[in-house]
Chains A and B, each alone.
Chain A
Amino acid sequence: MSNQKKKNFQIEAFKHRVVVDPKYAEKTWSILEHAIHEIYNHNASGLSFEELYRNAYNMVLHKFGEKLYSGLVATMTAHLKEISKSIEAAQGDLFLEELNRKWNDHNKALQMIRDILMYMDRTYIPNTHKTPVHELGLNLWRDNVIHSSKIQSRLLSMLLELVHRERTGEVIDRGLMRNIIKMLMDLGSSVYQEDFEKPFLEVSAEFYMGESQKFIECCDCGDYLKKAELRLNEEIERVTHYLDVKSEVKITNVVEKEMIANHMMRLVHMENSGLVNMLLDDKYEDLGRMYNLFRRVPNGLSTIRDVMTSHLREIGKQLVTDAEKLRDPVEFVQRLLDEKDKYDSIISQAFSNDKTFQNALNSSFEYFINLNNRSPEFISLYVDDKLRKGLKGVSEEDVEIILDKVMMLFRYLQEKDVFEKYYKQHLAKRLLSGKTVSDDAERSLIVKLKTECGYQFTSKLEGMFTDMKTSQDTMQGFYASHPELTDGPTLVVQVLTTGSWPTQPSITCNLPAEMSALCEKFRSYYLGTHTGRRLSWQTNMGTADIKATFGKGQKHELNVSTYQMCVLMLFNNADRLSYKEVEQATGIPASDLKRCLQSMACVKGKNVLRKEPMSKDIGEDDAFFVNDKFTSKFYKVKIGTVVAQKESEPEKQETRQRVEEDRKPQIEAAIVRIMKSRRVLDHNNIIAEVTKQLQSRFLANPTEIKKRIESLIERDFLERDNNDRKLYRYLA
């Protein structure tokens, strides 16, 4: 015994003591049997452990293990039969208590018996592959007590009855319940499952089926979910209190199936309280509950998501196609943003920021924003409005937030190039009229567009900013080299690079003599410093500040467009001018002239001109006078400036046409890029690749792509394969 290895050394070989007494085994066993009786009778204190152990030890040593083991089985069985009878005799509720008490007794006795028979447990049982004492005791208990015909069904029905009573709100003895359940678990997981868990789950399913039916008839969706959640938590709590932890999944599955999965559709579509109503009324709590409950059942979340998506699409479709709501672009975009905000907060507060929901939201927005092909224009107009006046007195962070939101809508657009087109126009107007509120905000948005769409997208926009900057320097240079020009009218010229700015048909008008002289001076100065350039005047985009004195000596400074300035200057030399005379003298295109005259003669408060006959519209036979009675509270009067407006139908068509025109080279470039690397590709793949490449800018139309391919074939960039007409080859 000097070290642990020698423990298994068997000493049976040494027959050091010959048992002479043939009754030896009988005698020894009767001592042990007596002891077992005493133990069951709670009378063990007088027994000597050493003696009993020694007897059992010797019995095993002398090959009476079999007798000892079978004796133990018989004695214990007899005792358990007794016990079982006394449990059966227990009345009503005492039954469980009696069972519990006897079980504790048996456990204690079993442990003592195992201890004194330890030597048998250690040597005889492993050698003969018999059941160890402790397990044997449990098995005997199971067979003789739990599975006795009078106890088994009674026990089960009492347990289920208790659970049912607790479910209906009664308080039960959870400690007792826990002990009994623990006993079933100790007897082996199969006993627990067969004798309790399975029937328990069946009864629960039945219970919840009935209850959910009752609730769904009389509750609205929110209340129903509250009740379901309550029940679910109750069951989970029950498991922690007195059931096997492994039962949690099973019982929650039952509740989920009966209370949620089976009624999912009905709940979601419940009239006046279903999912759509919750969304409309921002019921975060109910929505969160629905999310958490539905998440537990298969297809639960996808059901919510589908309903939300279709609802969103519906709402969005109304939003973008309702002619009434399209009247004001700013309002339109604001409404989209509000809708987005609403759903963002629903997803973050109720749907735990579920990625799949965010994706659903995004795809819905993408879907309906692109339903209206004016969305790009409107978004640009919204930005225009914000950058013109909307951002005054707003902190820098808030500006960023607004811009980020705009970018988010921008991301949904399929026709990003259309947005670019409009944005360019609006930006040009802002820059030229000096109406932009914050240079920082403008630049910040450009940076955002750049990160979103790449350098190419914004290079022209950035070019516009550079032009504005260089123009300032040029003007300083101009006045520095012409010091004599401090008197008289001043001229501010912005030199715009063709290409960077939106192209406008350049129709020159006849400037007043003073101005055209000044313009000539600038032209010669500019061309003197930059050789090889061509200057053309965009009079339709300019503004002018003029001082005017009216009949009674009222002096005002009028802020007008270049066209209006030209018209007003005519009245320095004449009191009365007919429409024809004005048109002839200025050379302004008719439609522009009419608008410009209308803004000066027909708008109340700004009517610096008087018209005969008085009417709202400008006729070709009208005559105009200076309005000597003009008054205004302000010294400075701003008249009909160029305000970005929603485009009229023909203008819209024109822009669209221009966009289509611009897309052609882009599609071609994409085709060539792809073919250059692939060499040979079939038609469908080209279409797919081109669409993918151009996705960040616009959604390419397959028929248009086909046309471009044909055009490229005509120009010998590509050829069709001789055998397979669907295959194209790159030629170079």
Chain B
Amino acid sequence: MKKEDTVKLISAEGMEFVIDKEAAMVSQTIRNMLTSPGGFAEAEHGEVTFPEISAVILEKICQYFYWSLQYSRGKETEFHIEPELTLELMMAANYLHT
């Protein structure tokens, strides 16, 4: 996988997730970060730090990105969410505009 095609997402604890840009851009917010003109730090280094999102949530989010890419259109499959994560995930979703 080429470096240009991936992006590194860093959680509040410093946990790093490297995923496809295509998947990350499921989030409108991340898409803007990476494509906005003028070259923000994120676009330049290919990494985004989320000081307010924990590793557990971020992991779930990454899973969701890939699930969304594959299934969101058409196929009726469930994306499993543990009840205890619901609230935090929803906040993150609002933040990430997903």
Nearest chain B residue, comparing its CB with the CB of A45: B39
Q: For B93, give its contact among A1, A45, A46, A54 (CB under 8 Å).
A: A1
Digitize B62-98: 1 where CB-to-A-CB distance is under 8 Å, 0 elsewhere.
0010000000100000110100000101111111011
Chain A proximity of B85: nearest CB distance (Å): 10
* Interface of chain A: mostly helix, strand, loop or mixed: helix
**Chain A residues with CB below 8 A from B93, complex form:** 1, 6-7
Chain B: interface residue total (CB-CB under 8 A): 33
**Chain B residues with CB below 8 A from A109, complex form:** 38
A9 to B98, CA, bound (A): 12
Is A681 an interface residue, CB under 8 A from the partner? no
**Chain B residues with CB below 8 A from A118, complex form:** 28-29, 32, 97
A46 to B37, CA, bound (A): 13
Is A122 an interface residue, CB under 8 A from the partner? yes
**Residues 16 to 61 of chain B near chain A (Cβ within 8 Å):** 28-29, 32-33, 36-44, 48-52
Q: For A11, give its contact among B64, B72, B79, B90 (CB under 8 Å).
A: B90
Q: For B32, give its contact among A54, A57, A115 (CB under 8 Å).
A: A115
Known: A1-B89, A1-B90. A49 touches B97 (CB 8 A): no
**Chain B residues with CB below 8 A from A213, complex form:** none
A111 to B40, CA, bound (A): 12
Nearest chain A residue, comparing its CB with the CB of B44: A45
Digitize A35-66: 1 where CB-to-B-CB distance is under 8 Å, 0 elsewhere.
00001001011111110011001000000000
A115 to B42, CA, bound (A): 13
Interface residues on A, range: 20 to 34
A717 to B72, CA, bound (A): 90
Is A2 an interface residue, CB under 8 A from the partner? yes
**Chain A residues with CB below 8 A from B95, complex form:** 54, 57, 119
Chain A proximity of B42: nearest CB distance (Å): 5
Q: For A47, give its contact among B41, B52, B94 (CB under 8 Å).
A: B41
**Chain B residues with CB below 8 A from A108, complex form:** 37-38
**Chain A residues with CB below 8 A from B44, complex form:** 45
**Chain B residues with CB below 8 A from A675, complex form:** none
**Chain A residues with CB below 8 A from B81, complex form:** 2
Is A112 an interface residue, CB under 8 A from the partner? yes
Q: Is the CB of B51 within 8 A of A54?
A: yes
A9 to B91, CA, bound (A): 10
Q: Is the CB of A122 within 8 A of B97?
A: yes
**Chain A residues with CB below 8 A from B32, complex form:** 49, 53, 115-116, 118
A50 to B30, CA, bound (A): 8
**Chain A residues with CB below 8 A from B28, complex form:** 118
Is A14 an interface residue, CB under 8 A from the partner? yes
**Residues 684 to 703 of chain A near chain B (Cβ within 8 Å):** none
**Chain A residues with CB below 8 A from B72, complex form:** 4
A118 to B36, CA, bound (A): 11
**Chain B residues with CB below 8 A from A54, complex form:** 51-52, 95
8 extra interface residue pairs, beta carbon distance < 8 Å, beyond A11-B91, A44-B40, A49-B33: A1-B90, A6-B90, A39-B38, A49-B36, A50-B42, A109-B38, A112-B36, A115-B33
Q: Could you show 15 A-B contacts with beta carbons less than 8 Å apart?
A: A6-B90, A6-B93, A14-B87, A39-B38, A44-B38, A47-B41, A48-B41, A49-B32, A49-B42, A50-B33, A53-B33, A54-B52, A108-B37, A112-B38, A115-B33
> A residues within 8 Å of B by Cβ?
1-4, 6-7, 9, 11, 14, 39, 42, 44-50, 53-54, 57, 108-109, 111-112, 115-116, 118-119, 122
Top 9 closest pairs, chain A to chain B, by CB: A1-B93, A49-B40, A44-B38, A115-B36, A49-B33, A115-B32, A2-B79, A45-B39, A49-B42
